Amino acid sequence: MSTILEKIAQIEAEMARTQKNKATAGHLGLLKARLAKLRRELITPKGGSGSTGEGFDVAKTGDARVGFVGFPSVGKSTLLTTLAGVYSEVAAYEFTTLTTVPGCIKYKGAKIQLLDLPGIIEGAKDGKGRGRQVIAVARTCSLIFIVLDALKPLQHKKIIEYELEGFGIRLNKSPPNIKLRKKDKGGITLQTTVNQSELDLPLVKSILSEYKISNAEVVLRIDATPDELIDVVEGNRIYIPCIYVLNKIDQISIEELDILYRIPHCVPISAHHKWNLDDLLEKMWQYLNLTRIYTKPKGQLPDYSAPVVLHVFKRRIEDFCNKLHRSIAKEFKYALVWGTSVKHQPQKVGKDHILNDEDVVQIVKKI
């Protein structure tokens, strides 16, 4: 492990002293590819999948999972206790939480699992302070709360982002629109649909050669960076929405609070005084992108007490049937839908119909 860390340190040092210009772009691209490969070895050591265990991972429950990530003593445990009523040990000293503490809240009809993760420290992605286990659990979350202390500088935000990025987590980003198709022959071909400011054919060849890819078709539909191309080649990146929760606002001035409100994806709160938690929960719902579907048994009123919760990318009638029970899709004839996804109330639809939030569905089975 130490040799991998030494190699990473050497490459980072070389990148730091290399001037960034057109002449060095190929060399820097090659170094970035080598760095990504070494980081992958660090995450999943050769000869095994690497353990995330030691009491860190928790069985998934509910419709979505939110992980609290942050430095020690920023108020993650207080926030979990306030939101979910689950006791997570709180004290004035650092590293009070030594394992993952789960909680669950019901919000707008959806069950949402909350995970209070142990505090991470600088160098977590390299294994310091059990950081790799903590970040491995964060990779399984639908949304990440990066909990920051409003009294401490926002450089903490940059450090945590850097640690999560090093572990293959991309915050508030979408997968890059890059197509990579390996071939048996023909060398490397590059097609672009927009002008490229950083990538060209020699640089693409240089990056792919590090992965021993000599025949491939690359299509760039965005103005891509070398890092984005490496992400596509690696193929193990996780794209997770993130909210920056700035805690302890009771200890700062109104002027400072006004500045904090300008930070993108940020919600200032006081977990201790329960200030602004409604705003946090509303933003959480918005970032989770969930869709509630109500069921209607034949001849009865819709059941508004227990919606079926679907993700925004999996909200077809077939997904709805599978969420209820696998056997329903096999016996499916058609569905009657009331709501904003249809023109007529009700409207007869098939398995591929896409549902909207708060639609009402009645399934009609084959006789």
Q: What is the pLDDT of residue 349?
A: 96
Identify the three-state secondary structure at position 348: strand
Q: Is the pLDDT of residue 128 over 90?
A: no
What was the pLDDT predicted at 43?
A: 64
| pLDDT of res. 25 | 82
Residue type, 297: P
Arithmetic mean of pLDDT over the chain: 85
Mean pLDDT within 347-354: 96
Average pLDDT over residues 274-294: 95
Q: What is the pTM of this model?
A: 0.83
Residue 107's pLDDT is 93
Per residue in 234-270, pLDDT (tens digit) is: 988 999 999 999 999 999 888 988 888 888 999 999 9
| Residue 166: predicted pLDDT | 82
CA distance 336 to 326: 19
Question: What's the confidence (pLDDT) of residue 162?
Answer: 87
With cut-offs at 50, 70 and 90, classify the pLDDT of residue 90.
very low
8 Å CB contact between 221 and 180: no
Q: What is the 3-state secondary structure (H, E, C) of 181-220?
A: EECCCCCEEEEECCCCCCCCHHHHHHHHHHCCCCCEEEEE
pLDDT band at 56 (very low <50, low <70, confident <90, very high): low
What mean pLDDT comes out for the span 40-56? 54
Position 51 scores a pLDDT of 43
Share above pLDDT 70 across residues of the chain, in percent, rounded to a whole number: 88
The more confidently predicted of residues 310 and 3 is: 310
Q: How far apart are CA 52 and CA 139, in angstroms?
A: 11
Residue 2: CB atoms within 10 Å: 6
- Euclidean distance between CA atoms 329 and 318, whole angstroms: 6
